[in-house]
């Protein structure tokens, strides 16, 4: 596959930073919901020769002070407590959203610090202008900025009674100072690439015009993919790449995160497919 004819400002000409270290991948592989997905994603990126087109940056670990800027002390203390033995039966875990959908694993505190630190590393690379696009495919498991008018959040997702996490209704528009700065677009099951791209671009054009963002954080959730265990949407990596290219055409500092609970090749292929538009390939 060739990217001949790319203009100087095309996505494949952007300076891309990829957050990676063997230790980080090993930590991310420990999640029982997505075992070894991080290493499979990295192996595909490496096999396709994409690393030579990106600057590889070693992630740091987030400090407890940094995590406490968003998480409560009680939550962090609980992670510390259960991190030693991976006790998934602690009665307090349910109060913090830990359980079936977010199971406890041994070393969960270290995992949270590693993923948070990797995202902070990627963001710092954008601030330091070391890259125009920064990637942390093992990130994206966190939700923030629902209480501020400085960030507009946009989510296209499945929403139905009993479906985790149970939020994201059309009427959910943010809280406190962030009221009217959250855009939720609930979708029916089975949506395919063309229809999703139409909805995505229609919404994002309005967001760009009204909010005029200075930077973008984009989570490419793997649970949109056809074949995902959630059986929600029917998308392919091609459709995801179309959405990514649309946002990259804004020419803003862009942070890319992974996500979703697919532990199979659907999620792996989606994240590899999200990397390809950023890199000129020759095969």
Identify the bridge partners of residue 235 per DSSP, sorted by sequence position: 225
Helix (H, G, I), strand (E, B) or coil at 9: coil
DSSP code per residue over 132-187? SEEEETT-------TT-SS--EEEEEE--TT-TT----TT----GGGTT-EEEEEE
Whether the per-residue pLDDT at 280 is higher than 80: the answer is no
Residue-wise pLDDT for 213-268, tens only, equals 999 999 987 778 777 666 678 888 899 899 999 999 999 999 999 876 554 444 45
- Give CA–CA dist 176/228, Å, rounded: 35
What is the predicted pLDDT for the residue at 119? 95
Tell me which of 220 and 209 has the higher pLDDT.
209
For 105-135, what is each residue's pLDDT tens digit?
A: 889 999 999 999 999 999 999 999 999 999 9
CATH 3.40.800.20, domain 11-28+35-58+121-278, yes or no? yes
Q: Which of 36-40, 157-161, 207-211 has the highest mean pLDDT?
A: 207-211
* 183-201 residue pLDDT tens: 999 888 888 999 999 999 9
Token look-up 């997905």 returns: 37
pTM of the model: 0.84
- Which are the catalytic amino acids? 143
* Of 8, 2, 6, 9, residue with least CA distance to 248: 9
Is the bond leading into 156 cis (omega within 30 degrees of zero)?
no
Q: Which residues contact 226 (CB under 8 A, 6 or more apart)?
A: 233, 234, 235, 236, 266
Contacts of 225 (CB under 8 A, 6+ apart): 233, 235, 236, 237, 240, 260, 262, 266, 267, 269, 270
Tell me the pLDDT tens digit for each residue of 35-88. Answer: 888 999 999 999 989 999 999 999 999 999 999 998 999 999 999 999 887 677
């Amino acid at each position: 596959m060739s990217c001949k004819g790319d203009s100087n400002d095309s996505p494949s000409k952007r300076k891309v930073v990829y957050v990676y270290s063997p230790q980080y991948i090993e930590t991310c592989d420990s999640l029982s919901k997505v075992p070894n997905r991080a290493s499979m994603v990295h192996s595909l990126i490496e096999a396709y020769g994409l690393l030579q087109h990106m600057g590889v940056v070693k992630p740091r670990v987030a400090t407890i002070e940094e995590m406490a800027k968003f998480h409560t002390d009680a939550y962090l203390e609980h992670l510390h407590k259960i991190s030693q033995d991976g006790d998934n039966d602690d009665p307090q875990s349910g109060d913090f959203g830990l359980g079936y959908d977010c199971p406890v694993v041994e070393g969960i505190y270290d995992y949270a610090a590693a993923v948070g630190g990797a995202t902070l590393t990627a963001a710092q690379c954008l601030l330091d202008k070391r890259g125009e696009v920064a990637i942390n495919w093992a990130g994206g498991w966190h939700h923030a900025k629902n209480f501020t008018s400085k960030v507009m959040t946009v989510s296209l997702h499945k929403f139905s009674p009993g479906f985790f996490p149970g939020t994201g209704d059309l009427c959910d528009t943010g809280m406190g100072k962030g009221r009217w700065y959250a855009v939720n677009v609930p979708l029916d099951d089975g949506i395919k690439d063309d229809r999703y791209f139409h909805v995505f671009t229609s919404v994002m054009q309005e967001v760009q015009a009204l909010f005029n963002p200075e930077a973008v954080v984009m989570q490419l959730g793997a649970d949109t993919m056809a074949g995902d265990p959630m059986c929600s949407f029917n998308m392919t990596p091609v459709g995801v790449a179309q959405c990514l290219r649309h946002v990259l055409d804004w020419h803003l500092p862009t942070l890319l995160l992974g996500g979703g609970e697919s532990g199979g090749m659907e999620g792996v292929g989606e994240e590899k497919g999200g990397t390809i538009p950023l890199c000129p390939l020759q095969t």
